[in-house]
Amino acid sequence: MSNQQPSRPAGPQRAGSAPQAPQAGGVVFDPLKLLQKYKFVLVGAVVLGLFVGVGSHYFFLYVAPGYKSTVLLQCSPVETESSAISVDTIDEDEMARFMGTQVQKIKGENVINAVLADSRLEFEAPKWYKQYSRNSRLDIIEATKELEKTIKAYAIPKTYLIQISVQVRDRNDAAGLLRLIKENYIRILSSDTSSGITKRKEAIRKSISESEAVLIELNARKNRLVEENRLGTISADKSAEAEMLQLVNAQIINNQQLIEAHQVRLANDEAQLQRNTPIQYDPTLRDRVEAHPIILNMLQRIGDLKTSLSSLQAAGILPDHRTYKLTLQQLEATEREIAETRERLLLEAFNTRVDSTRTALSQLQAQIADLTTTQEELLAKLNKLTQTTEEIDEINRQIENTLNLRSEQDSQLAQLSVAARLDSADRITVTKSENIPDRPAFPIIYIMVPLGVFLITGLTAGIIVIFEILDQRIKSAADIAMIPRTPILGIIPDAEEDPSAHSSLQTLFMDSPNSVLAEHYRQLRTKITKKMGANGHRTLLVAGAMPGSGATSVASNLAQACEASGKKTLLIDTNFRRAKIHTAFGLLDNPGLAEVLAGEKTLADCIQKTTDKGPDVLAAGARNLRVVERLGTELLGKVLAESSASYDVVILDVAPAIVAGDALTLASQVDATMLVVRAMAEKRGQVARLKNELSDHRSEFLGVLVNRVQGTAGGYMRRNIQTSHKYHAGDPEHAV
């Protein structure tokens, strides 16, 4: 393999096939793990809570006991005219309102002031009175504040009962104080009911009288308007004036139309008179002239003459005959006369029509003037009638509103009569009087003890949760999952958790192949080889976070596991500061990588064999040749390329990333990297920073391995380790 490394996959392939860690939105806890881890602490908290509860009970019993006295009041439905009241006739909403009102009155200022002003207070509750007495006088302000907190009253659900209670330090004071509260409440209720209702009734009756006076005045105004204007049930738009106005308007319109027609005719006739041309008579005039007696007589004469001519012709008289000529002359004279007469009559008729048209126009215009005057008079009368009608309508509306108001006032008066019964003290009956308590209401042992256990245990649990939130150390793979976009390779349990004995942690895979730790390295090998094989990677850098993280043990055991799976594996010690690989396998520290980088020896000359089943090792080399700067040169790239050509897997051990920058230098030379952190040593922020630094280089960051994870007593991991050990203990043969 050449020095040119295979290109890294981009995007989501960078983290291999492992699922991405969820986004860190907060700390995630496993409640069962916390219980297993802190179970003895929680048991101690429960025991301490028992003692605290018992101690608190006796402390409060001595310092501030509370004796509670109660009174029960029975609320009755509203009295009605019916003598019998059944369950179906009870107004539940009214009862709920009534009971709620009484509860507020019991706890109200009037009752408290009445109790404090009661001369019996000093004798009924002497110890309570003395507690708030200053120079033989009661401190009203402090006593009022205390009573507001002391008086408890509430309506018992699904009943018509109200419970009043008082809790003070002395049992006799409790009964006496409650007695004063009960008696003063009933007295105030009786007084308020009679005085308040009477005042409101008087106010409503006065309003009713005022409404009646308004109604009388409105009706008088209405009748006066009707009589003065002679109004009946007919509205203004249907009155005689309205009908006459309609007729006048129609006549005006008709006259206007006639005037327009006459004006058109007169204009045409006058135009013909002014012209020098003969007048063009219309057929109407001609028909009228043709019907004139004179014309008719002439037409008759013409007819007779024509008949005479026809008779002469029939008698054989020729036109030359004197009689024939005389008759013809008469006919022609008559025709000339009728033409002249017709023209004269037409002109006379034409002039007569012009004069009559002018006369008709004058008459029509005079009629329109008269009609317009009549129209204005009718409009004035109609407007006045409309105003009067509107005024009467307004009076009717006022009468209607006043009647509605009167109805409401009557209803209010009736409601007050009912309200007098609603708030009546007769509706309250004392069903249980105040009692002198024989035992304290506070403290109660069966409440104080569980409360003490709850508080102490809850406080302890809260402290544990806060501690877990503030604790940033890596304890298991779950803590790695809180780091955004950080793949998890798995865990390696602490060697002390493994029941098998291990002589060397660096070679436990070969020494104890059936141990629990060896099984975890097999699981790690499977995940690592799968990720590397998917992208053609061969060189893997195993970097530890802090000194003591166990990266060298992980690198050596991972190399042994890879070799055991049939993959030819080379383990290179690039930790030039504290080389340990050669010691783990009992080899010499030189020749090694330092000699190869110095050019003194070849790679093949420096590789050492461990065992037949173990990996090959390239030690760090002689101390005087270990130059850290050479780890970043092309010489190392050539070494890795040559190693990749000969081996299936090449694993590099390096100095911790926190104390040296060698890991970041080598991250640009290898195909893949992984980070080893020690449980309970590294913190999440530190691991996140190292992960980001390794991810920023050309190699693929495979994930984080948590080493030396400790199990809690009774926890899942410890039980799994024990189960695994028992299973493999029955099979002593080496199994890969």
251-279 pLDDT tens trace: 889 988 988 888 888 888 878 778 877 88
Q: How far is CA 79 from CA 82, 94, 367, 434, in A?
A: 8, 12, 82, 28
**Tens digit of pLDDT for each residue in 171-206?**
899 999 999 999 899 888 877 665 566 777 778 888
CA distance 72 to 160: 10
Q: How many other CB atoms are found less than 10 A from the CB of residue 431?
A: 11
Tell me the C-alpha distance between 502 and 689, whole Å.
Answer: 34
Residue 205 to residues 215, 218, 363, 413, 416, Cα–Cα distance (Å): 15, 20, 72, 8, 12
Residues 138, 139, 140, 142, Cα dihedral to 10°? -130
pLDDT of residue 21: 40
- The three-state secondary structure class of 468 is helix
How far is Cα 320 from Cα 313, in angstroms, rounded to an integer? 11
CA gap 626, 498 in Å, rounded: 37
DSSP state of 430: E
Whether the CB-CB separation of 177 and 155 falls below 8 Å is answered with no
Position 704 confidence tier, pLDDT thresholds 50, 70, 90: very high
Q: Are 145 and 113 in contact (CB under 8 A)?
A: no
Which of 91-95, 261-265, 689-693: highest mean pLDDT? 689-693
User: To 10 degrees, the CA torsion angle through 550, 555, 558, 564?
Assistant: -130
Q: Find the mean pLDDT for residues 573-599.
A: 89
> Of 91, 205, 109, which is closest to residue 151 (Cα–Cα)?
109
Does residue 686 surpass a pLDDT of 90? no
491-496+503-674+684-703 has which CATH code?
Answer: 3.40.50.300
Residue 729 binned pLDDT confidence (cut-offs 50, 70, 90): low
464-498 confidence digits (pLDDT tens): 888 777 777 777 777 788 788 889 898 888 877 76
Of the candidates 474, 473, 480, 536, the one whose C-alpha atom is nearest the C-alpha of residue 703 is 480
Residue 83 confidence (pLDDT) above 80: no
